[in-house]
Amino acid sequence: MNQRTLLITLTGPDRPGVTSRLFAVLAGFPVVVADIEQVVIRGRLTLGVLVAYAGDTPTGTGGTLGALWTAVERTAEDLGLEVELSTSSDTKEKRRRGRLHVTVLGSPLQPAAMAGIAGRIAAAGANIDRIERLSSYPVTCIELAVSGADPDALRADLAAEAHAQQVDVAVQRAGLYRRAKRLIVMDVDSTLIQAEVIELLAAHAGCLDEVARVTEEAMRGELDFAESLRRRVALLEGLSEEVFEKVRKEVVLTPGARTLVRTLKRLDYRFAIVSGGFTQLTDALVEDLGIDYSAANTLEVVDGVLTGRVIGEIVDRPGKARALERFAREAGIPISQTVAIGDGANDLDMIATAGLGIAFNAKPVVRQAADTAVNVPYLDSILYLLGISRAEVEAADAEDVDVPPGP
């Protein structure tokens, strides 16, 4: 039996009861609901309802398809709305298959950027089904629901356009896959915090320039991390352990860090940090932010003085990936439901291991390897990649008076 569809689109000033009135009319005909989308922008409603029916004309208490058409038009007129109706026999609804979320971040977001992104989507033979704003500050975030595109090909096309337009773009599969990222594993130095801890220590030891040079080589992947760590730590020999308390006071969180952790913890995510830095500093972050799991190196201290050595196994590039896998096992979470966030070459293995790898203000080699890159300076922008809007964050803060909003 041939199945047809009828698309009903209502537009105009929003008011209570529009949806219920429309479906009360449709209930009088032998149709089934195939799809619904609704958007309200500054009080103006766009409501689309796709219904399917068998045969050429649905009949019911209202009679033929023409009767249904007339009933919907009368309802729209009564509600002060415009209505558009169109029929189709394309029962496969090809454009609904393979739906993706395309998230665009800009600060500011220029019209040319959106033109470029939309043009690439159209050139790929895909369709934009819905556009929604997730945030207007501190960055503008727009999410597009896209159908009919190959994810890998579209990701490559949009990455090139994002670079040209100086915006961030992420492409992810829609549905439960996207919402099922339940463990976040994050690098610490230059990601969760705004500095490299070893450089803060080196400043107190009077060897900052030499340490910074070795750090930069390691971050670019030009030097083995374990060797670079030993060389840098050796320069700290003789420092008093009192330096740890001084450096703790100098550590500054990346903007949006508290909001990110607080929001995800409310949603029952598990949060972990992995660091090539040192437990003498990361332990304080764990306590302050309520982090669930952590892994970092430990500086050896003898008689209150740093010896210039590291105790135990070094948390290096493969060590970070192993830590992610260990945290996932302890939390009972599949690797596919993990997110890894980092900025340097030392994070590449965990970014590759995780279900979603995010490069945050990262070196070029990391941006190229990650699933997506975020280059705005606000860590809570990562929430938008998980489909969490700024309005939802603020609503949760307003409801939880015990947790004051913070950066």
8 A C-beta contact, residue 214 and residue 235: no
* pLDDT the model gives residue 104: 96
Q: What is the Cα–Cα distance from 337 to 355, expressed in whole angstroms?
A: 6
CATH number, domain of 347, equals 3.40.50.1000
Point out the domain boundary residue: 88, 112, 132.
88
Query: Does residue 99 sit in the same domain as residue 150?
Result: yes
Given the residues 189, 343, 349, 380, the one annotated as active site:
189
CATH number, domain of 146, equals 3.30.70.260
* pLDDT the model gives residue 177: 63
Q: Is residue 210 domain-resident?
A: no
Report the candidate in 200, 218, 217 with the shortest Cα–Cα distance to residue 208.
Answer: 200
Q: Is residue 63 domain-resident?
A: yes
Residue 92 has what DSSP assignment? T
* pLDDT the model gives residue 223: 79
Q: From start to end of 19-153, where are the E strands? A: 32-41, 44-54, 82-88, 100-106, 127-135, 140-147
Q: Is residue 204 domain-resident?
A: no
Query: Does residue 169 sit in the same domain as residue 21?
Result: no
Q: Is residue 222 domain-resident?
A: no
Q: What is the Cα–Cα distance from 49 to 10, expressed in whole angstroms?
A: 9
Query: Does residue 379 sit in the same domain as residue 265?
Result: yes
Residue 253 has what DSSP assignment? B
Q: Three-state SS across 186-239? A: EEHHHHHECCCHHHHHHHHHCCHHHHHHHHHHHHCCCCCHHHHHHHHHHCCCCC
Residues of the chain with pLDDT under 70: 1-2, 55-64, 89-98, 175-179, 399-407
Give the domain range for residue 142: 95-179
Report the candidate in 353, 315, 347, 349 with the shortest Cα–Cα distance to residue 335.
Answer: 353
Q: Is residue 209 domain-resident?
A: no
Query: Does residue 101 sit in the same domain as residue 71?
Result: no
Query: Does residue 259 sit in the same domain as residue 383?
Result: yes
8 A C-beta contact, residue 221 and residue 345: yes
* pLDDT the model gives residue 154: 93
> What is the pTM (predicted TM-score) of this model?
0.76
Query: Does residue 41 sit in the same domain as residue 107?
Result: no
Query: Does residue 175 sit in the same domain as residue 190?
Result: no
Query: Does residue 106 sit in the same domain as residue 159?
Result: yes
Given the residues 187, 343, 347, 349, the one annotated as active site:
187
Count the domains in the chain. Answer: 3
Q: Is residue 171 domain-resident?
A: yes
- Is 189 a residue of the active site? yes
Q: Would you tell me how many other CB atoms lie within 10 Å of the CB of residue 371?
A: 19
* pLDDT the model gives residue 44: 86
8 A C-beta contact, residue 383 and residue 391: no
Q: What is the Cα–Cα distance from 248 to 239, expressed in whole angstroms?
A: 15
- Is 349 a residue of the active site? no
* pLDDT the model gives residue 187: 97
Residue 405 has what DSSP assignment? -
Query: Does residue 28 sit in the same domain as residue 103?
Result: no
